Structure 1
Amino acid sequence: MEDLSQKEWREKLAEDANAMIIDVRSDEELEEGFIPGAKQMDIRNPNEFMETAHQLDTSKNYYVYCRSGARSSQACAIFNSLGIKNTYNLEGGFMEWDGEKTK
């Protein structure tokens, strides 16, 4: 897992043809908006989260965010334990995101 600043995350993501964006926030939090192209995996729903995590392609690079960066860091650690080597945590999360958003 690598913690990336907003700038580093955007730059790395823009150059990565093998990227998947994962939003680990709840349905209620998604109403605030989300980063375009993100797939939701609510980490507060552990059974569904783990079921989906086991189906992820280990060859992909995962860019993970939550509201503030704590849950996404936890998600990256879980992904790493499942054999997913390339995970990138967005420092500051969606609260500090100043890039493109979708509502």
Structure 2
Amino acid sequence: MSIINKLLGPKPEYSEKIEILGVEEYKKAVNNNDVQLVDVRTPREFRGGHIARAVNIDYFRGADFEKAFEKMDRNKPVYLYCRSGNRSLKAARKLVSMGFEKVYDLQGGILKWK
């Protein structure tokens, strides 16, 4: 559990399955080629630059968003990011409600990635 999660106090029900990682910890994790790495920004944002090996699944696509994740392994961790961390946290909550067991979110989004 990250220090931030500890400092924020009581955790909502979904947070056992969602962990927000700082940039360095996230980078170490996604350097493993065997991760489900997803950019939840729009295709236009994605074309403007993204993390290597990420797939683009636009959070704002509603049913298409859910369909895309139905093809993924719910027991394997999913690493999400967006521009600032807001959309990806919403997406993480959605994934947990869909049955995903562990979701990691990049704190501060791609704006913090260097």
State if a TM-score over 0.5 links the two structures: yes
Cross-structure match for 1:48: 64
Q: How does 1:3-82 map to 2 (within 5 A)?
A: 3-14=20-31, 16=32, 18-82=34-98
SS at match of 2:91: helix
Corresponding residue of 2:3? none
Aligned length: 97
- TM-score if structure 1 supplies the norm length? 0.86
After the TM superposition, list the runs of 4 or more consecutive aligned residues in structure 1 that deviate by more than 3 angstroms: none
Cα offset, 1:17, TM superposition: 5.9
Give aligned-pair identity as a percent: 31
Residues 22 and 40 of structure 1 are in contact (CA less than 8 Å); yes or no, is this contact kept in structure 2? Answer: yes
1:35-54 Cα deviation digits (max 9, x unpaired): 01001110011121011122
More helix by share: 2
Q: What amino acid is the match of 2:109?
A: G
Give the aligned CA root-mean-square deviation in angstroms.
Answer: 1.4
CA distance in 2, matches of 1:68, 1:9: 14
Q: Deviations over 1:38-89 (max 9, x none)?
A: 0111001112101112222112211100010010011111111111111100
Q: Which structure is richer in relative contact order (CA contacts within 8 A, separation 6 or more)? A: 1
Whose Rg is larger? Answer: 2
Query: What are structure 1's unaligned runs of at least 5 residues?
Result: 99-103
